[in-house]
Amino acid sequence: MDAIYASVVARDPDQSEFHQTVSEVLETLKPVIAKMPEYLDVVKRLVEPERQIVFRVPWRDDKGELQVNRGFRVQFNSALGPYKGGLRFHPTVNLSIVKFLGFEQVLKNSLTTLPMGGGKGGSDFDPKGKSDAEVESFCQSFMQELYRHIGASTDVPAGDIGVGGREIGFMYAQYKKLTSLPGGILTGKGMSYGGSNIRPEATGYGVVYYMDELLKHNNQTIKGKTVTISGSGNVAQYALEKCLDLGAKVLTLSDSKGYVHKADGFNREDLKALLKLKNVTRGRVSDMAGDGVVFVAGKRPWEVVADLALPCATQNEVEIGDAKTLVANGCMALAEGSNMSSTNEAVALMHDSGILYGCAKAANAGGVLVSGLEMSQNAQRLLWTREEVDNKLHTIMQELFHNSVKAAEQFDCKTKTGKLNYLAGSNIAGFLKVADAMKAGGIWG
C-alpha cells in the first residue's frame, strides 16, 4: 500500500490535494488488504482515473475583451454506474483539486448505495463579481466542449462551489441547444425544468442528519447542543436550518473575510436574512453584524466554544492548530459538510483526543444522494414531494452511517482512545462495494 502511494506521488508530484486524500484512504484500507490481499490489484487501478479531460474555455467579458480559462472533467470510476459529481468554478481549481474531489466522489457515491460512479470537474473561472451576461457567456463556452463527454447514461454533472442554479440553468440550455436532447443531463436544475425538491438543501440537511446519527451512536443527541458552522453558502445555510429543526443552537457562520458570532444562536429570521444576503444580493457575512451579531475579521470560527463543529466552507479549513483549539474548547464531534474539510494531521489529532469525526465522504453525501434521486425522477418523468425526498435522504443517510459502523466493527477499526474509527469504516464500506464491481470486470473493471 505504501508503494502504491509512492507511485501516485511519483507520477504526479505537484498534486498535493490528490496525494492527501489518497494517503488517507490507503492508510485506512490496510486492514482490508491484510485480510484480503486479492484486493490489492483493485487499489492499484482505483487511484488512477479512467479519463482526464482538460480544455480551453474562451469567452468575452462585458467590455468585449477576450478571456481564456481552463476547464476540467475527471471521469474517475464508472464501476457502479454513470460518472456523477459536481462542477466547481473557483480560481483555485486545478487538476489536483478535481482529482481529489473525483477520488472522494467514487467512495461517497458508493456509500449512498445508489448506482453512481464518481467524477468531478470545473474551471478556474471565478463567478464572483461577474455580471449575469459574463457568467452566461462563460457557461455557454464551457458547455461547448463539455457536452462531448457527458450524457444521461454516461456522466451527469451537478453543481459545487461557484455553480448554483444560475450556472446550471445556463449550461443546461446550452447543452440542449447543442444536442437537442433535453432530460437528466445535469442535476441541481430549477424546479421548473426537471429539478428535485430539496436539492439545494440536501448537503446541509444531510450533514446534520449524519451528526445526529453519530451522536446517537454515542448515547448523545443533537438537541440542545451548541454548534459552530463555517461557510455561508448552500451547505452552511441549510445545515443551520436543519440544526434549528432538531433543536440545536448555531453560534457562527463565515466566509473568506472572517466569521460572525451570535451568542444567543441564530434564529429563523437570521436564516431568512442570510438566504437573501447570499442568494440575492451576494453580500458578505459581515453585513449581518448588529443586533447581537459580532463580526470577527480574518479568523475561522473554531475559536468559539461549542459542543459540535460543522465545517461547510472548503477543503483543509480545519488545520492542526484549529484541531488543537477544538480539543481545548471541549468539542465533542465534527462532521464535514465541505469536501476534505480537515487536514490529515488535524484528523489524527481529533482521533487521538477523542473527538468524534465524520469524514466528508459520508457526512456530506446528502447532496449527491439527492442528485441521484433527481436522476431517478428525470428517468421516470416523475416529481416527488418535498416530504418524500427528505424522508429518502434521511433514511439513506442513516443507512450510510450504520453501514460504515458495520465495516469499522468488522475490521476492528478504533482510534487510540478506543472509540470506533468512523473514517476508516466509511472508507472501507465505500471501497468494498466499488472493489467487488471492479473485480467482476477483470483488469478493465
Model pLDDT for residues 333-366, shown as the tens digit of each residue:
999 999 999 999 999 999 999 999 999 999 999 9
The pLDDT of residue 294 is: 98
- Is the Cβ–Cβ distance between 203 and 234 less than 8 Å? yes
Helices (H), 247-306: 268-276
pTM for the structure as a whole: 0.94
Q: Where are the beta strands (DSSP E) in 19-81?
A: 51-60, 66-77
Instruction: Indicate the pLDDT class of residue 304, thresholds 50, 70 and 90.
Output: very high
* pLDDT at residue 312 greater than cutoff 80: yes
* pLDDT at residue 75 greater than cutoff 80: yes
The pLDDT of residue 123 is: 98
From residue 144, give the alpha-carbon distance in Å to each of 58, 147, 415.
Answer: 10, 6, 48
- Is the Cβ–Cβ distance between 309 and 251 less than 8 Å? no
3-state percent breakdown (helix, strand, coil) of the chain, nearest 5: 50, 15, 30
From residue 242, give the alpha-carbon distance in Å to each of 113, 206, 212, 403.
Answer: 23, 9, 11, 23
- Is the Cβ–Cβ distance between 195 and 164 less than 8 Å? no
The residue behind cell 473568506 is 256
Residue 84: closest CA among 68, 102, 65: 102
Residue range 62-79: mean pLDDT, rounded:
98
Q: Render pLDDT for 97-131 as a digit per residue (tens, 0 to 9).
A: 999 999 999 999 999 999 999 999 999 999 999 99
- Is the Cβ–Cβ distance between 347 and 426 less than 8 Å? no
Burial 317-356 (b: 16+ CB within 10 A, else e): bbeeebbebbeeeebbbbbbbbbbbbbbebbbbbbebbbb
The pLDDT of residue 181 is: 86
Alpha-carbon distance of 20 to 443, in angstroms, equals 26
| Residues ≥6 apart with Cβ < 8 Å to 289 | 260, 295
Residue 371's SS3 state is: helix
Backbone phi, psi, residue 159, to 5°: -90, 170
Residue range 379-391: mean pLDDT, rounded:
95
Report how far apart the first and last C-alpha atoms of the chain are (Å, whole number).
20
The catalytic residue positions are 120
* pLDDT at residue 282 greater than cutoff 90: no
CA torsion angle 275 127 229 401 (round to 10): 100
Q: Render pLDDT for 22-48 as a digit per residue (tens, 0 to 9).
A: 999 999 999 999 999 999 999 999 999
* pLDDT at residue 315 greater than cutoff 80: yes
Alpha-carbon distance of 253 to 178, in angstroms, equals 41
Alpha-carbon distance of 92 to 349, in angstroms, equals 27
The pLDDT of residue 432 is: 98
What cell numbers appear for 414 in the block? 478504533
Q: Render pLDDT for 402-420 as a digit per residue (tens, 0 to 9).
A: 999 999 999 999 999 999 9
Residue range 44-72: mean pLDDT, rounded:
98
Backbone phi, psi, residue 183, to 5°: 135, -155
| 334 φψ region: left (φ > 0), alpha (ψ -120 to 50), beta (else) | beta
The pLDDT of residue 300 is: 97
Instruction: Give the chain's domains with CATH numbers.
Output: 1-48+424-445 (no CATH), 50-193 (3.40.50.10860), 202-363 (3.40.50.720)
The residue behind cell 461557484 is 162
Residue range 278-306: mean pLDDT, rounded:
93
- Is the Cβ–Cβ distance between 240 and 428 less than 8 Å? no
Alpha-carbon distance of 148 to 169, in angstroms, equals 18
Q: Render pLDDT for 174-224 as a digit per residue (tens, 0 to 9).
A: 999 999 988 779 999 999 999 999 999 999 999 999 999 999 999 999 999
Alpha-carbon distance of 167 to 134, in angstroms, equals 11
Q: Hey, which residues does 60 pair with through a beta bridge?
A: 66
24: enclosing H helix or E strand:
helix 16-35
Instruction: Indicate the pLDDT class of residue 375, thresholds 50, 70 and 90.
Output: very high
